[in-house]
Amino acid sequence: MLYDNRKKRFNKSVVYDSHYRSLWQCIHIDGTLLAFILLLCSAGLLILFSASNENLHSVEFQIMRLLLAFCVMLVFAQISPFALQRWAPWIYLFGLTLLFIVLISGHIGKGAQRWINIGFTRFQPAEIMKLAIPLILAWYYHKMDLPITLKSVLMAIPIILIPAVLTAKQPDLGTAILLTIAGVSVLFLAGLSWQILLTCFVSFMACIPFAWYLLHDYQRQRVLTFLNPERDPLGAGYHIIQSKIAIGSGGIFGKGWLNGTQSNLHFLPEHTTDFIFAVCGEEFGFVGTVILISLYMLIVFRGFYITMHAQDTFSRLLAGSITLTFFISFFINMGMVTGILPVVGIPLPLVSYGGSSMVTVMAGFGILMSIQTHRKLVTT
Amino acid sequence: MRTSIKNHYHEIQLTSRRSMVAILVICILIVLLISRLAYLQIYKNILYTTLSTRNAIDLVPIEPTRGLIYDRNGVLLAENIPVFSLDIIPLQVTNLQKTLIALKNVVELNDSDILQFKKQLKQHRRFDEIPLKLRLTDAEVARFTENQYQFPGVIIKARLMRHYPYGESFAHVLGYVGRINTTELNVIDQINYSASHYIGKLGIEKFYEDELHGNVGYEEVENDASGKPIRILKKTRGKPGKNLYLTIDSGLQLAAEKALIDHRGAIVAIQPQTGQVLAMVSEPAYDPNLFVLGISQQDYNALQQSEEKPLYDRALRGLYPLASTIKPYLALQGLNSGATTPDYTIFDNGTFKLPNSSRIWHDWVKLGHGRVNLPRAITVSCDVYFYQLSTKMGIKLMDDILTEFGYGSLTGIDLDNELPGVVASPAWKLKNKGTHWFPGDTTNSSIGQGDMQATPLQLASAISTLAMHGQRYVPFLLLGEQMPGKAYIVHQSTALSPIVLTDKKYWDIVINAMQDVVTSPQGTAYSLFGHGYTYTIAGKTGTAALSKRRLANEEDKQESMPLKLRDHHLFVAFAPVDNPKLAVAIITENSHNAIQTARAIFDYYLGNQPHVVRQPEKTIQ
């Protein structure tokens, strides 16, 4: 009763738009987005079942994870954008601290360290940063006039690069790239001037030779192998050659569900995780890959719809960044599996087996839903 | 409110515009991605389908089951027994050296196993199963199975291994199979042998390799990335090897082997009416099973360097002087050419001199045999009679008859590495010794000494021809063959052009004289062959003197001579005389055991003696 009374009082001060009010609205779920996500997840489970050699156990495990991720999504959908906006700096600082802890414990443990063990499970602090970076940048730019100025862009650089570099040092190049993309996408949506974009692009190109020395040996191998997979067909090039064979041999309609030889006979490495898209290509052919891409694109378009209908700058920047990062992550994955991008360890979101990235992606969708459903009558 | 100073409309415009740009870029990227997929999946589909098939489908050859070898009565002489072997798949082994050392604690490995394995390692692909040890004992199988988890890439495999149940008894006839070596690898049909580890090395196993081996079969196997077969898509059956039935009578072979009782020597027994070889013994022999497993260098050296020469097939390759067994043939030629008549009689005083020569040839009986005609000359083996006959005939006529009986050339038996022996002639002597033919050489040849040499097989073939009154057959070992599940195919004997004499009765004259060799108290085989046999028999003894210039009465001293210098004894015989069923040639080295041995053999085959039954050694080490 007490709670109800407080809620009523709250409702008096913030008047919701009665036109959009529905059952979905009440529980802060965007039905359209939810439907698209469910479609994609079902397709993903179908592919995973085949990719894991009909191992029901791993499919069950994946369903458990998806359920957990859905719960996280539901939780995030309940948090109003206003609250997120308030917590943004604290979330960022929290994530950054964890990154440093990982780095230090990694030094002590004398080896690569990406995880933090919290008793019942482990998680990757870099995943928090995937949301924390857009949050703090959106929070930061929300307070000033857009388009952003050069000074505010310069402010953003350490905010993005410190966690990105820390992650790259773990070493986890894939996540570091996604962190950078997440940050840069906010800058882009906030009106980063084309001159700066162009300058950055040129200087990025100029930096490539220097970056070469910063890369780990295995990362260099990946780049070299990307440029010419046949130079090491049994070593580093093996992944990409087998992946292309899997996709290419699928043809238009594919070999049929569960009939892929490349994955079932283990020719295709990482066939349940990073290279699961190749399994889809082999078993469902061109038609199947185009359908899968379409499912992803439905989510992306819904994300942009939410972005453009968001009520304040913070929400728009946040929603846009989440959508763009989601796009980039599956695009990089598909690009590397089809051989048009170098192999960086980025899983196919919601389809690849396992991963804390699934929780982050779903949390992002939760934020999108929150933005879509926490609407005020008066825009600010 | 702080935000009121912001230009909201402008900001919405900006973010929407930027979102549109982003959507545009995204669409371009997606089109790019889909074009890439179309390129891979539609344009390049055939290429990648081929690559994918090549990845997963492998043709795995299936070794055909080697044909079995039976004797004429269906007694199994060479079989395939299932054994457990220890195989290694190099691809799945991380540290081969360590694994080999660790394996030594579990199974017994000797150096030759490891050597063989390393040789094979070079010849096979990394994912092939390469045998390390071919035959594990039950205890080793159990021990390894317990510890298998420690040895990834090491497996126990059941395979068929050649086994010769009678061990050394048939070693020289059957030969053996062994692992294919590099030389053979260059000669064999690589495809047909792609699954085979063994090939016939000697004897029947080698001569009938093609029949015994069969044709390779194939499985189209779907492999996983580690090369492990997952399932069989298609199976093309090969042809198993044919089962061979030999002319050998294993009972007779064992009886002959037993009759030799540890004497060095050879026995060849032929069925005169067909040319089928009923027994072929060379003593001492070796255990062919040792070679199947891959004989150790030590064992091989021991066999190789043994003074007894167990690896030497005396029956096929042993060259011995014909000695007095030459006499019946020369007698036939003497009669045939008119150089002598059955009644022509000489007086033998124990010595012979060539005209214009001072050299004295002795008879083996010091004081001679007195009055001797041709049949008696054969019966008592009178040397002087044949010295004189040879002087009348000349070496040409002597060589002619010997050649007609098959001496000096290969008999054509179905075994490799047969030796032709020597029919000494002036041309032969000039070519091989570089000296001219002297009249004395003819005299030496007349009693089968000098340069005349023959194998026991030739001796047996010739006596068999004599038994058949000139009817000649190529001696052979393959009685018939049978593809499993198909009809039995009989191998026909090959008749050669018969020896025709001017008068058929000459045969009977010589054969009757040879009968007297055994039956007449004066006959050279009379005392040693003994009494109480139930068949008629004709034979001829021979003594190959090793010390060249021996005294006539030296024979009595043989017992006191060192074993290696004692005479070789020969005995050729056939029985029954009217309807020959068995012709035998026996040589005992440095021993006079030949005649007693012949008695045992004829008694076994024709008499009512209890048959020698020997159980095959089924024991597996």
Give the one of B12, B36, B52 whose C-beta lies nearest to A245's C-beta: B52
Pairing of strands B351-353, B568-575: unpaired
Domain count, chain A: 1
Say whether A380 and B222 touch across the interface (CB within 8 A).
no
The reply to whether A125 falls in a domain is yes
Q: How much of chain B exceeds pLDDT 90, in percent?
A: 41
What is the nearest CA distance from B226 to chain A, expressed in angstroms? 8
What architecture does CATH give domain B63-246?
A: Alpha-Beta Complex (3.90)
Q: How far A17 CA sits from the closest chain B CA (Å)?
A: 20
**Residue ranges of domains in chain B:** 15-58, 63-246, 250-298+315-606
Percent with pLDDT over 90 in chain A: 44
DSSP per-residue codes, A312-356: SHHHHHHHHHHHHHHHHHHHHHHHHHHTSS-------TTTSSS-S
Q: Does A320 touch chain B (CB under 8 A)?
A: yes
Looking at residue A4, its pLDDT comes to 47
- Given a contact cutoff of 8 angstroms between Cβ atoms, the answer to whether A298 and A375 are in contact is no
pLDDT at B50 over 80: yes
Nearest by CB to A338, from B8, B40, B225: name it.
B40
Among the partner-chain residues B41, B223, B226, the one whose CB lies closest to the CB of A286 is: B41
For residue B276, the cross-strand partners are: B271, B476
Contact A146 B10 (CB under 8 A): yes
Look at residue B245 and tell me whether its pLDDT is greater than 60: yes
Tell whether A311 is within 8 A of chain B (Cβ): no
Give domain status of residue A339, yes or no: yes
ipTM for the whole complex: 0.89
User: Does A224 touch chain B if contact means CB atoms closer than 8 Å?
Assistant: no
Give the H/E segment covering residue B157.
strand B154-163
- Which residue of A lies nearest to B223 if distances are taken between CA atoms? A265
CA of A82 vs chain B CAs: smallest distance (Å): 14
Q: What is the mean pLDDT of residues B339-359?
A: 87
Nearest to A335 among B33, B45, B47 (CB): B33
Residue in chain B closest to A262 (alpha carbons) equals: B52
How far is residue A208's CA from residue A72's CA, in Å, rounded to a whole number?
38
Cα gap B530→B508, rounded to integer Å: 23
Tens of pLDDT along B567-603?
889 999 998 999 999 999 999 988 888 888 999 899 9
| A317 interfaces chain B, CB cutoff of 8 Å | yes
pLDDT digits (tens, 9 = 90+) for A340-359: 888 888 899 999 987 678 88
Q: Is residue A330 in a domain?
A: yes
Q: Is A161 part of the contact surface with chain B (CB cutoff 8 Å)?
A: no
**Does A338 map to a domain?**
yes
**Residue A188 touches partner B, C-beta closer than 8 Å:** yes
> Is A7 within a domain?
no
Q: Which residues contact B343 (CB under 8 A, 6 or more apart)?
A: B373
* Optimal mutation site among A139, A145, A146, interface B, most CBs of chain B within 10 A: A146
Tens of pLDDT, residues B267-326: 999 999 999 999 999 988 999 998 887 777 788 888 888 888 888 899 999 999 998 999
| Nearest-Cα residue of chain B relative to residue A266 | B225
Q: Is pLDDT above 70 for B368? A: yes
Query: Which residues of A fall within a CB distance of 8 Å from B11?
Result: 145-146, 313, 316
Query: H helices then E strands: how many in chain A?
Result: 15, 2
Classify strands B243-246 and B229-236 as parallel, antiparallel or unpaired.
unpaired
User: What contacts B522, CB < 8 A, 6 or more positions away?
Assistant: B376, B379, B380, B516
B537 confidence band (pLDDT: 50, 70, 90): very high
Spatial contact of B474 and B494, defined as CB atoms under 8 Å apart: yes
A39-85 pLDDT tens trace:
999 999 999 999 888 888 889 989 999 999 999 999 999 999 999 99
Residue B430 has pLDDT above 70, yes or no: yes
Whether residues B55 and A281 touch (CB distance < 8 A) is answered with no
Q: What is the pLDDT of residues A108-148, one digit of tens each?
A: 554 556 666 665 566 788 888 999 999 999 999 888 877 77
Q: Which residues of B are less than 8 Å from A335 in CB distance?
A: 33
Annotated catalytic residues of B are 324
pTM: 0.64
Q: What whole-number distance in Å separates Cα of residue B566 and Cα of residue A174? A: 93
Helix (H/G/I), strand (E/B), else coil: A342: coil
pLDDT along chain A (380 residues), means of 10: 45 48 81 94 93 88 92 93 91 91 68 60 80 92 80 87 87 87 91 84 84 76 72 70 90 88 81 90 94 96 93 91 94 93 86 84 94 71
| Amino acid B181: pLDDT | 80
Which residues does residue B496 pair with via DSSP β-bridges, in sequence order?
A: B472
B550 confidence band (pLDDT: 50, 70, 90): very low
**Is A327 an 8 Å CB contact of chain B?**
yes
- List chain B residues with CB under 8 Å of A327: 26
Chain A interface includes B127 (CB < 8 A)? no
B126 in contact with chain A, both atoms CB, cutoff 8 A: no
CA distance B168 to B162: 14
Contact B145, B156 (CB under 8 A): yes
Calpha distance A362→A285 (Å, rounded): 28
The answer to whether position A46 is within a domain reads yes
Does residue A6 fall inside a structural domain? no
Q: Do B51 and A285 touch (CB under 8 A)?
A: no
Domain spanning B250-298+315-606: CATH superfamily: DD-peptidase/beta-lactamase superfamily (3.40.710.10)
Which among B120, B56, B55 is positioned nearest to B88, based on CA atoms?
A: B120
With CA atoms as reference, the chain B residue closest to A379 would be: B8
For chain B positions 41-60, those within 8 Å of chain A (CB to CB) are 41-42, 44-45, 47-49, 51-53, 55-56
Domain with A94, as residue range(s), is 42-51+59-373
